[in-house]
Amino acid sequence: MSQNNAKLLLIDDDIELCELLVEYLATEGFTVSAVHDGEAGVTAALSGVHDLVLLDVTLPKLNGFDALKQIRHRSNIPVLMLTARGDDVDRIIGLEIGADDYLAKPYNHRELVARIKAILRRGRTPLIPEGTSRTLQIDDIALNLANREATISGEPLELTATEFLVLKTLIEKVGELISRDDLTQIALNRKLTLYDRAIDMHVSNVRKKVGTRPDGSARIKTVRGSGYFYILPS
């Protein structure tokens, strides 16, 4: 895909993390260059050689928000903010100033890659996805598989990459029971072990976010002890 070989700029003062990310994102097909302070970050971001900026909030010399402001003055290069979790204020400010997306620390690497890809695809929206239908539709939920965006009754639905995968898997096999093992394997990319309740938490979160059908009936059902399924619309 064309998005591979995309050039990313990583602005983060955590040098060790930068090294790791450069190596990891390289295995995902991205070329990453890293700078460690806000001023150098702004200069690099405005150099025009990068496709996307990963911007940390806490930075020496110039903090992430100010750096973003300066970048936005002269460029509309996609920016993914890396914020501290729990600070809703950070998130809101970031989005207001003009970040394309945000990701809270500590972030899951799969989540990070998914977001990067989503933003890069979004940047090329005129390009209608080739081949088969890239949208899953059920009831009033629509999942855009190309940019990993979900909408419910036309309203955007905020899902993490894992939650998106969970919902996608459930909708693809609507009406069929999906075991916890399978769901764990697909969404979390690992085997289900004893006392592993992570998948249940993710399903629970998805259920909370999608709510009930407009007529009040449940969308997702648990089968005691074995798994979940998305109830076929009547």
Partner 1 sequence: MRLKVQLKIPRLVVWPWHSVFWKIFLWFWLSMIAMLVTLFLAFAITVDPSDFLSERRALFRELEIAARKMELLSRTSVHLPIPRFPGSGYYLFDTEGNILGSASISEELVSAYNKTRSRSDPTITFRSGMVVVGPQKISLNDAPYELYLTKEMPVLVQWRVKQVIARQWHLIILALGMSFVLCVVLARYLVGPIGNLQRASRKLARGDLSARVGGKVARRRDELGELARDFDHMAEQVGSLVFSKERLLRDVSHELRSPLTRLQISLALARRKTPDADAEHSRIEREIERLDQLIGQIIHFSRIQQNMANMACEKVSLEGMLKKLVDDGDFEAQAGDKAVVFKETASIELEAVREFLSSAVENIIRNAIRFTPEGSEVEVSLFRENDTALIRIRDHGPGVPEEALEDLFEPFFRVDETRGKENDGTGLGMAIARTAVAQHNGSIVARNAQPGLEVSIRLPLRDGLSV
Minimum CB separation from partner 1 for residue 47, in Å? 25
Per residue, the 3-state secondary structure of 150-218, as one string, reads EEECCEEECCCHHHHHHHHHHHHCCCCCEEHHHHHHHHHCCCCCCCCCHHHHHHHHHHHHHCCCCCCCC
Q: Which residues in 188-207 contact partner 1 (CB under 8 A)?
A: 188, 190-191, 193-198, 200-201, 204, 207
- What would the x/- binding string for partner 1 be over residues 17 to 46, using CB under 8 A? x--xx-xx--x-------------------
Q: In angstroms, rounded to a whole number, what is the distance separating the alpha carbons of residues 53 and 110?
A: 17
Nearer to partner 1, 82 or 146 (CB): 82
57 exposed, middle or buried (CB, 10 Å; 0-12, 13-18, 19+)? buried
Nearer to partner 1, 27 or 133 (CB): 27
173 near partner 1 (CB under 8 A) = no
Residue among 180, 187, 210, 230 that touches partner 1 (CB under 8 A): 180
- Which of 9, 94, 87 lies closest to 46, judged by CA? 9
- What would the x/- binding string for partner 1 be over residues 59 to 98, using CB under 8 A? -------------------------xxx------------
Task: Give the containing element (helix H, strand E) for 66.
Answer: helix 64-74
Nearer to partner 1, 110 or 134 (CB): 110
Give the three-class secondary structure for 220.
strand
CB atoms within 10 A of CB 89: 9
Q: Give the footprint of partner 1 on this chain (CB under 8 A).
A: 14, 16-17, 20-21, 23-24, 27, 84-86, 105-110, 180, 188, 190-191, 193-198, 200-201, 204, 207-208, 220, 222-225
